[in-house]
């Protein structure tokens, strides 16, 4: 427990309370959600070591396609080169560090806007004005490559050159969700929402099935019975649940034909899953809607939703209206969460906040908190 003590004896005692069996455990202390030092430590211990889902392959479908993004202040550039291969690079010019690309699009290469250094789609330096003299060797200068791999149509990157392969990282998750055929799905319009709370509160909220019937009566909560939902906690914070319920849409029926993997029945099958640190998947008979949660600051985060539908469904009449109806439902649900998680964040900074006891139906949240403590402070910390 010595690693927990570096946050103080009070923290060590609080962590012991978190690690008790679910029905006797307590939630994390508030400073875990407000501390700038904890936030910096999360970057180093979690986000710069784990495989992170950053895009769909179809977002980078053609040679020359690129996407620039930031992961906890780290600029990243995704590209598809002329040979059709995906690559990931630090989006940091090797001269002064300016980002060489912004946004997303299609390009022959990239030009740093500050001094005009040019890079190709593989991150190689191909031009540097007034740099021919002296010991400068353009061939040895390139954008730093990052590890990149793919699973089920998703693009993952990793900052840690020594991390285990992605196939190992997702193996358990793939056994639960690989059969959905996400690689053959098509992405409808993705959408984002910014929350005024710590990223962990959104991760927990998406795994907190205790609140669904109370908060979401006007959206997804009517008819929801958490006691009928098996909570399958896995090692290292992974989670899955498969259960049956009617669609929350009017009439209680899916709006589209089922995904090919479900052809022949199971129109009430639903599922939720979590792959640490920030990939959450919601599955319904006719679509999959993964969420990726990105920290922006100790008290701010961004959620990106990726609505996926069967390839065959996208081209059928009525698809646009159905996709829009699903989006409106999920956005309305997230809006209901918006004020709740902001209130949670405010509570974490209150002198009167004492972490409360958990319910047995918060087992998925509990499992994630134990994973988090293990990663941040070591097993038993």
Q: How far apart are CA 92 and CA 74, in angstroms?
A: 9
Annotated domain spans of the chain: 55-163, 171-376
For the domain spanning 55-163, the CATH number is 2.102.10.10
CA distance 300 to 200: 10
Q: Indicate the DSSP class of residue 143.
A: P
End-to-end C-alpha distance for the chain, whole angstroms: 5
- CA 221 to each of CA 96, 205, 224, 289, 328: distance values in angstroms, whole numbers, following the listed order: 52, 14, 5, 17, 15
- The reported pTM is 0.94
Fold of 171-376: Naphthalene 1,2-dioxygenase Alpha Subunit; Chain A, domain 1 (3.90.380)
What is the pLDDT tens value at each position of the chain, 381 positions in all? Answer: 334 435 567 788 999 999 999 999 999 999 999 999 999 999 999 999 999 999 999 999 999 999 999 999 999 999 999 999 999 999 999 999 999 999 999 999 999 999 999 999 999 999 999 887 677 888 889 999 999 999 999 999 999 999 999 999 999 999 999 999 999 999 999 999 999 999 999 999 999 999 999 999 999 998 899 999 999 999 899 999 999 999 989 888 899 988 988 876 677 899 999 999 999 999 999 999 999 999 999 999 999 999 999 999 999 999 999 999 999 999 999 999 999 999 999 999 999 999 999 999 999 999 999 999 999 999 977
């Amino acid at each position: 427990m010595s690693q927990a003590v570096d946050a103080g004896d009070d923290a060590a005692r609080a962590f012991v309370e978190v690690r008790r069996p679910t029905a006797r455990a307590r939630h994390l202390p508030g400073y875990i959600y407000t501390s700038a030092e904890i936030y910096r430590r999360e970057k180093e211990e979690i986000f710069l070591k784990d495989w992170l889902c950053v895009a769909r392959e179809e977002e980078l479908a053609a040679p020359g396609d690129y996407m620039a993004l930031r992961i906890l202040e780290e600029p990243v550039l995704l590209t598809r080169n002329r040979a059709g291969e995906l690559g990931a690079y630090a989006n940091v010019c090797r001269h002064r560090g300016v980002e060489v690309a912004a946004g997303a699009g299609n390009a022959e290469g990239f030009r740093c806007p500050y001094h005009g250094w040019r890079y190709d789609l593989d991150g190689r330096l191909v031009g540097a004005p007034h740099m021919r003299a002296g010991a400068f060797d353009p061939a040895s200068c390139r954008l730093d490559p990052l590890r990149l791999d793919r699973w089920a149509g998703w693009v993952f990157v990793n900052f840690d050159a020594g991390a285990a392969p992605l196939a190992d990282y997702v193996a358990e998750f793939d056994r639960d969700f690989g059969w959905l055929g996400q690689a053959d799905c098509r992405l409808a319009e993705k959408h984002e929402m910014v929350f005024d709370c710590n990223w962990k509160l959104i991760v927990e909220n998406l795994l907190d099935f205790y609140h669904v019937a109370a908060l979401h009566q006007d959206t997804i909560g009517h008819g929801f019975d958490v006691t009928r939902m098996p909570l399958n906690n896995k090692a290292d914070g992974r989670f899955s649940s498969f259960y049956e319920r009617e669609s929350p849409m009017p009439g209680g029926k899916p709006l589209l034909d089922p995904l090919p993997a479900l052809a022949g029945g199971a129109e009430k099958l639903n599922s939720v899953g979590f792959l640490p640190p920030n990939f959450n998947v919601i599955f319904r008979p006719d679509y999959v809607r993964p969420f990726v949660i990105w920290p922006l600051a100790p008290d701010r985060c961004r959620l990106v939703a990726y609505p996926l539908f069967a390839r065959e469904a996208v081209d059928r009449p009525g698809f646009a209206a159905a996709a829009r109806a699903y989006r409106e439902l999920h956005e309305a649900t997230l809006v209901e969460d918006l004020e709740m998680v902001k209130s949670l964040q405010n509570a974490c900074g209150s002198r009167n906040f004492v972490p409360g006891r958990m319910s047995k139906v918060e087992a998925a949240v509990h499992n994630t908190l134990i994973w988090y403590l293990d990663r941040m402070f070591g097993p038993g910390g």
